[in-house]
Amino acid sequence: MKKKRELMNRREFLRESTLVGTVLLLFGSPASEDSDSSNDNEPIHQYGMGIQVDKCIGCGQCVDACKRENDVPREPFFFRTWVERYIILIDGTAQVDSPNGGSEGFPEMVAENEIMRTFFVPKLCNQCANPPCVQVCPVGATFITKDGVILIDKDYCLGCRYCIQACPYGARFLNPVTSTAEKCTFCYHRLSRGLKPACVEVCPTEARIFGEIGLRSSLLARFMRFNKVQVLKPHLNTEPKIYYANLDGEVR
Amino acid sequence: MENLIEQLQPILKQVVGYIYPNEVELHWGILIVVYPYITGLVAGAFILASLERVFEVKEVQPTYRLSMLTALAFLIIAPLPLLAHLSYPERSIEIFLTPQLKSAMAMFGFVYAWYLMIVLMLEIWFDYRKDIVYWARSKKGWRKYMYYLLSLGSLDLSEKAIRFDRKAGKFITIIGIPSAFLLHGYVGFIFGSVKANPWWSSVLMPIVFLFSAIVSGIALMILIYGVTTLFRWKPIDMACMDKLASFLLYAMILDISLETLDFIHRMYESVESIHILGQLISQKLFISLVVIQILLGTLLPLGSLASVKLFRLPDELRRLIYFGAAILVQIGIFSTRWNVVIGGQLFSKSLRGLTHYKMELLGIEGLLISIALLFLPLFVLYIIIKILPPWPEAATTPLSSIAKESSQ
């Protein structure tokens, strides 16, 4: 009789442990929940950049610094960032150029008395919140990080170039060395060490302001408070995170 | 890399206006022109074959099997230009293993596999099964075993089995028509969904692609049917040719109507891109769009096909007109693909300038490879025809004799 009871206990034990195991399998282990919640506690960044168009003097140092920092080929066909010069003539027509991305400055193009207004516009990947490049990548080699930066996994990229076609801003190119798509990453390797992107670091007039969107203490938030800002090609609904202050309507 | 730089340097001098500095290199070259051209032929040839099967257009019956085999031959080659264009073709398997489901391009593998494996292969197999069994029994040597293998062990030739083959074939054709629409409509979607590019971004793009596919497929079958019949020293079935030409004419009228609608819509809306697109047509695409695509590739064949309807012309002259029209249509549709793919990259997304495309002669993205890829499907078709002859005289002896044989 005693032996029978023991046997029943063993049965009950087995039944109960199977039940517990099934429940754990179905709803996940408590340990995994713990690790999830610890991720939630990490500070979530949302990086963006402000550009004071009026402060850019077209020196091209940002273009040069970017090429050095990121090993971008020096030839004039590959740019993670570049500077455009706009010359609006008296008759209202616009002339735009960016010789070698503006990295060597700009030669005089028009006599001064023919110019109505002129200005420089730095360009780079807009790190869109609704990025068409990420949408079209067939294998997910280009992706958006938690902190809102769009990166490319060059070990996964097929080199189909669909993302280059999908980018409305001409911010992507095919790196001729790696044969994979490439573009500005906000110098992600520097961000992870608490540094600013190279272009921001070298700008002599502080035309580029890097920071976190929504964080009141950041320089970017201050820039957004004191300026009326505009993004490029807003009608395409890409939701860029590069904000331009005093942007002229001629800029596309 | 040095090669690329050497190619890009002279283009820099040919840029008109302002383009973004990354836009000097044109990313989709002639290989990506060849790809939609070939898939268009597949969809067109298949839809023609379906006409006989589903809508029972008896006149085009002589082209039924030939159209199916043509579609198969071109479909087998269709992914090659894409693979050749990739920097890392060996990574393309990732499209199947880890597809990014929001990407239109990631769907290519699935649409392709569905169309090749489920639709085309199955339909051809059901249509040929009784012949395959007959050949397996009547041929000698390795051919006998090849046909046994192709029959997949399904050797039943009873009336019930044959009736099932027919039913299954028809059912697959019915699924096949929307699949063919999907295959080529999808190729149009790849371009039409790029909102960054005003030349491509249009909801009409998949539909225009589809109708131009039907046009090119019918024209191709006029050529292939005509040439294969001549080479076999058989008389050309003029009722069939007349019907094919009529279909070609109707498809062309639909195609040109859609393209005109697209053109008028763009002109009437006249959004900010209209100026650069106007420059694109007048400065960069005048020959390929206005002269080749519209005048030579559309209006001339349209006029000549219509003239056949209006006047009574002798058989010989009609044949010549049909052949001429079919060749012109092929050139026209290839130009259409060129104007979409290359044209869409010749203007800057800043809408301020135009760039230039210089096609290589040699190299993987070159003209020679593209010509080879265009003719490769014909070679594949030759082999398929050797295995599965579509000619009426190659088909089996009257079914009753086989049925008798199998019941013994």
DSSP string, A176-225: TTT-SEE---SSHHHHTTTPPPHHHHH-TT--EEEEETT-TTSHHHHHHH
pLDDT band at B280, cuts 50/70/90?
very high
pLDDT band at B102, cuts 50/70/90?
very high
ipTM value of the model?
0.92
pLDDT band at B113, cuts 50/70/90?
confident
Cβ–Cβ under 8 Å, residues B269 and B297: no
Residue A34's pLDDT is 40
What DSSP character marks residue B59?
A: G
Cβ–Cβ under 8 Å, residues B196 and A171: no
- Looking at the complex, report in whole angstroms how far the Cα of residue A69 sits from the nearest Cα belonging to chain B: 18
Q: Which of A75, A136, A174 sits opposite B5 (nearest CB)?
A: A75
Q: Where are the domains of chain B?
A: 35-253+361-407
How many CB pairs (< 8 A) connect A and B? Answer: 131
Taking the C-alpha atoms of residue B81 and residue B93, their distance in angstroms, rounded to an integer, is: 16
Burial class of A226 by CB neighbour count within 10 A (0 to 12, 13 to 18, 19+):
exposed
pLDDT higher than threshold 80 for residue B406: no
Residue of chain B whose alpha carbon sits nearest to that of A73: B1
Residue A2's pLDDT is 45
Quick one: tokens of A23? 């429940």
Nearest one of B29, B28, B38 to B376, comparing CA atoms: B38
Architecture of the CATH domain B35-253+361-407: Up-down Bundle (1.20)
Q: Which of A97, A138, A169 sits opposite B95 (nearest CB)?
A: A138
Interface check for B364 against chain A (CB to CB < 8 A): the answer is: no
Q: Which amino acid is at A132?
A: P
pLDDT band at B396, cuts 50/70/90?
low
- Looking at the complex, report in whole angstroms how far the Cα of residue A195 sits from the nearest Cα belonging to chain B: 27
Interface check for A50 against chain B (CB to CB < 8 A): the answer is: no
Q: Where are the domains of chain A?
A: 2-40, 47-130+181-245
Q: Please provide residue B107's backbone torsions phi and psi, each rounded to the nearest 5 degrees.
A: -75, -15
What DSSP character marks residue B390?
A: -
- Looking at the complex, report in whole angstroms how far the Cα of residue A143 sits from the nearest Cα belonging to chain B: 10
pLDDT higher than threshold 80 for residue B153: yes
**In chain B, what residues touch A176 (CB-CB under 8 Å)?**
1, 4-5
Burial class of A248 by CB neighbour count within 10 A (0 to 12, 13 to 18, 19+):
middle
Positions in chain A whose pLDDT score sits under 70? 1-43
pLDDT band at B180, cuts 50/70/90?
confident
Interface check for B21 against chain A (CB to CB < 8 A): the answer is: yes
Domain A47-130+181-245 has CATH 3.30.70.20: yes
Cross-chain Cβ contact B196/A160 below 8 Å: no
- Report the predicted TM-score, pTM, of the whole model to 2 decimal places: 0.89
Residue A12's pLDDT is 64
Mutating which of B5, B9, B13, B20 best tests the A interface, going by the most A Cβ atoms within 10 A?
Answer: B20
Residue A40's pLDDT is 55
Q: What is the mean pLDDT of chain B?
A: 92
Cβ–Cβ under 8 Å, residues A240 and A126: yes
Q: Give the distance from CA B11 to its chain's centroid.
A: 32
Nearest one of B381, B382, B397, B407 to B130, comparing CA atoms: B397
